[in-house]
Amino acid sequence: TRLEDWARSDKYHNSFLIEKDSVLDAALANSNANGLPEIAVSTAQGKFLKLLASSIAAKRILEVGTLGGYSTIWLARALPDDGQLITLELSEKHAQVARDNLANAGLSTKVEVIVGKAVDSLAKLHPDPPFDLVFIDADKPSNLQYFTEAKRLVRKGGVIIVDNVVRYGRVADPSYIDDNIEGVRNLLKAIQGDAEVDATTIGTVGEKGYDGFLYAIRK
Ligand code: SAM
């Protein structure tokens, strides 16, 4: 099946399950207008993140990798009035576009965008109170570092999601060797011997092609 067919499939399902949303459309349009890469989560995946955050009644959410704040908006919409989301972004430009998009979404008071290398920003965060949910979607070679920090910052029973861990099945194909793929492999190897988390990978297919996310619970 070709990528266009999977895009059609997403569109078909979304037409029943996800209402047209001018705020999210504007966020993507503004991101494109500012030259940001089109690497946000898909609409269906964004909605999944929101549903997940709602399911666990998340009050504190941490995101690593903001881009233009598309996934951030989805996640923040699940927060109660006194909820908070902290999102970490290396690029000052991406962060500014995200802040604009979050303001347009009416979410500025709930969301803090912190600019800098995520490893540095994470080191300064404290689990008081701990986070309920961490979404990791930044530079893939740093996955394991981010996951280790996420474990420190999330509550017992809290959820850590890592995006893009299947990569067209290439993570499992030894003939592919690149830093992004190695970043996923290193994470998997570390989780294998880690008694503090319980995890599974869910493969996905849709408008972004074949990929998947890792879903972990802090024990
Ligand atoms: N989560 C976003 C969404 O779905 O809308 C997409 C995030 S995009 C895949 C990855 C982002 O991570 C980019 O904006 C990139 O600038 C940022 N990034 C790359 N390296 C980083 C680092 N070392 N620290 C923080 N952010 C980084």
ipTM of this complex: 0.99
Atom number, ligand 1, closest to the C-alpha of residue 63: 1
Query: Which residues have CB under 8 Å from 212's CB, separation 6+?
Result: 164, 165, 166, 201, 202, 203, 204
Query: Which residues have CB under 8 Å from 85's CB, separation 6+?
Result: 60, 61, 62, 63, 72, 75, 76, 79, 110, 111, 112
State whether residue 40 is helix, strand or coil: coil
Query: Which residues have CB under 8 Å from 124's CB, separation 6+?
Result: none
Residue 86 pairs in a beta bridge with 62, 112
Q: β-pairing, 131-136 with 209-218?
A: unpaired
Atom number, ligand 1, closest to the C-alpha of residue 72: 5
Pocket test residue of 66, 100, 140, 179 for ligand 1, highest count of atoms within 8 A of CB: 66
Q: Whose CA is nearest to atom 6 of ligand 1?
A: 40
Residue 202 pairs in a beta bridge with 213
Q: What distance in angstroms lies between residue 10's CA and the mean position of ligand 1's atoms?
A: 24
Pocket test residue of 36, 39, 113, 117 for ligand 1, highest count of atoms within 8 A of CB: 39
Counting the structural domains of the chain, the total is: 1
The pLDDT value given to residue 128: 94
CATH number at residue 26: 3.40.50.150
Cα(138)–Cα(66) distance, integer angstroms: 8
CB of 171 closer than 8 Å to CB of 181: yes
The pLDDT value given to residue 1: 73
Angle at 107 between CA 14 and CA 28, to 5 degrees: 45
- Residues with beta carbon inside 6 Å of ligand 1? 39-41, 65-67, 70-71, 88-91, 94, 117-118, 137-139
- Taking 70 as the pLDDT cut, the residues of the chain under it are none
The pLDDT value given to residue 9: 97
Residue 135 pairs in a beta bridge with 63, 161
Q: What distance in angstroms lies between residue 200's CA and the mean position of ligand 1's atoms?
A: 23
Report how far apart, in Å, the C-alpha atoms of 214 and of each of 49, 164, 217 are: 13, 8, 10
Please report the beta strands in the chain, taking only residues with DSSP state E, as ranges in sequence order: 60-64, 84-89, 111-115, 131-136, 154-162, 197-206, 209-218
Give me the domain span that covers residue 89: 3-218
Atom number, ligand 1, closest to the C-alpha of residue 70: 5
The pLDDT value given to residue 99: 98
